[in-house]
Structure 1
């Protein structure tokens, strides 16, 4: 994650004449390879990399989540301890869903990267290049902010037992049950390192699956910008009819790309939004029961901020897809169509009618990725916090 964070500042937007959509996401894809989520071939085969992936997921996600979840049965009478366990266990649960979805759809995702690098999807003039660069910079900004939040969350989680000297009492960063005595050296030290390594791996996988999805939504909104520019400048082309048919083909490919991406992240977004509302509420509650301005307080603060950025990222880039797609029918009317053939005018009317419905990213069509959804999640989180705070006071 540190590598991803610094690469964000040094990675340059590719030139138009040598444009490659994969280049801005190079660090993201590399970190997915490190997490075992991006095999060299089109899919997983029985090789060393597949063994590495299975080992990491079993050891750092499944086992870590089991030890934390099983511990809840021993602390049911302590509300603070239960909430402290659940809000992290929910993140582990999401990691399981995301990694399995990623592994199951890695072939489809790799095909997407092949499809978006065709000439149709590349900027064709200086104005389109500017539009694309602006969206890439925005994605990198969010990517860097997310990496920053995740890094400091893990850092504070890893050092707060040391800074508050609770290591003398053999306190672990996370409450969990293990089939051995963790208050005996060297079991304590080994378990301590294992917990931090597990959380770091989960953050690595979560972060880069989320940012990859956001990057692909950024590509879709960029394609809508490119299509709008092509439509608005049709009258400047010698073959207006041929140019318009190219725009129709481009629009169809955009819809196809959006449908494929939506199918990939349906279950991810659905569970992410549901659990994130709970996690944010539990994190706010935990902030009220720990010592103010302590290392644990800052770890919770960065963790809650990371989840907010995570949800905002999905909603912002999903909202951008909808907003940019709404501009397509207006762009289709922007060129001088008065002198074109009657057949082209009819096709233009059908195209405008088809594009009246904006392109919207959703989770099983139950809710859409918009800024309105983001505010609803925050309101729901506040409701959970208010209930927990009231119960704790009583």
Structure 2
């Protein structure tokens, strides 16, 4: 899905000799996302075998959904314990995410590849003309990518490391009897030995793969949304800068620039619609799940009676992850909307009425100014912007007070 960097650099070698720090940073950003998509099993690329892509994708779906079933099976044994029920349901919401993301990418594979190729071509064209304008907002996108990956990785490692260290310790010190545990809770429909043996290690490997998909699939898909939002908003911003400086150009040159910008804007609207079409089930799940998960996690913090540092750190990282994930999507959607409005203002304040444009181009310009700014919506329910983040936090707090009142009612 990502064009190799040597191909990109070959398009403008004279600019690469200058070793622009922003260009280097952009290349590192795109390479990291491609690597994450590959490790997460969701890389859609014409250079990779489609059969292999579907095999890995179905593996992610099967493993994630199967563990959700194991967690539901475990919930049936603890229906009288509200604390454990909310803990298990919070993990069900997290493990559904890799399965849904992989399914969306497999179903929309051709649209995803087409979206990347279209945006990549347009973005490269803007880079050739003005690197500074095209990469002006890079810092607002590549840093959150690293923060989200670190937060997800730390959350999963806090689940995986304690049982792994316990296994290693018991093997080294020849502890008898050995009692091992798995990183993630769940009840298998069959009996699994907890002391040793091939069957146990096979199930433990299953848990390690589950943690692997959770880290790389979720972080790569979330970051890819940010990467496409960066490209769309950067192209819009670069065109806005171009329009503001084009007023000083000769009349014929200005008309060509304006016509090109309007044509590019139309293609970006199509890309924005495709991006929304691919990600809207993912965003809708995130809206519904994160508001409930944040509420559950806050409730778990208030119910802690014994201070266990590992559990406290786990809850802190988990709450931070859900807030950060929600804010990232809201921030990216807001960026697209604001740069789209900035582009419309660039056309409005340009000298297009006095330019030598034919009536078809003038009609397109008027229609562009009359259009609403680009937005990302989740199944036409809500727009992805900063207000969405505020609404989710308010909903989570409301759910928390409801859950707290239910818990007090059960104690009485």
- TM-score, normalised via structure 1 length: 0.85
Whether 1:226 aligns to 2:238 is yes
**SS of 2:247 mapped into structure 1:** helix
Selected match of 2:247 from 215, 224, 235:
235
Distance 1:52 1:327 in 2: 41
Counterpart contact for 1:90–1:275, Cα < 8 Å? yes
- Following superposition, the deviation at residue 337 of structure 1 comes to 5.0
Range with greater deviation from structure 2 (326-335 or 17-26): 17-26
With over 3 angstroms needed to count, the CA separation of the structure-2 counterparts of 1:37 and 1:347, relative to structure 1, is closer
In structure 2, the partner of 1:276 is: 290
Whether 1:30 aligns to 2:35 is yes
Selected match of 2:210 from 181, 195, 198:
198
Residue ranges of structure 2 left out of the alignment (5+ in a row) = 1-11, 17-22, 171-177
Distance 1:204 1:308 in 2: 18
Distance 2:312 2:353 in 1: 65
Whether 1:175 aligns to 2:185 is yes
Number of equivalences = 377
In structure 1, the partner of 2:261 is: 247
**SS of 1:180 mapped into structure 2:** coil
Selected match of 1:54 from 38, 58, 66:
58
Range with greater deviation from structure 2 (35-44 or 240-249): 35-44
Distance 2:123 2:242 in 1: 11
Across the aligned residues of Structure 1 and Structure 2, the Cα RMSD in angstroms comes to 3.1
In structure 1, the partner of 2:5 is: none
Whether 1:81 aligns to 2:81 is no
Selected match of 1:135 from 123, 127, 137:
137
With over 3 angstroms needed to count, the CA separation of the structure-2 counterparts of 1:131 and 1:292, relative to structure 1, is farther
Distance 2:323 2:123 in 1: 35
Counterpart contact for 2:163–2:183, Cα < 8 Å? yes
Counterpart contact for 1:328–1:355, Cα < 8 Å? no
Counterpart contact for 1:42–1:110, Cα < 8 Å? no
Distance 2:361 2:200 in 1: 71
**SS of 1:327 mapped into structure 2:** helix
- Following superposition, the deviation at residue 331 of structure 1 comes to 0.9
| Structure-to-structure mapping, 1:87-166, within 5 angstroms | 87-118=90-121, 122-123=125-126, 128-160=130-162
Whether 1:311 aligns to 2:316 is no
Distance 2:216 2:350 in 1: 47
Counterpart contact for 2:151–2:321, Cα < 8 Å? yes
In structure 2, the partner of 1:359 is: 374
- Following superposition, the deviation at residue 346 of structure 1 comes to 9.5
Distance 1:146 1:16 in 2: 35
Distance 1:162 1:36 in 2: 24
Counterpart contact for 1:22–1:113, Cα < 8 Å? no
**SS of 1:236 mapped into structure 2:** coil
| Superimposed CA distance per residue, residues 128-176 of structure 1 (whole angstroms, 9 cap, x where no aligned partner) | 42343232222111001101101111121223457899x9765544321
Selected match of 2:71 from 48, 68, 71:
68
Distance 1:304 1:225 in 2: 34
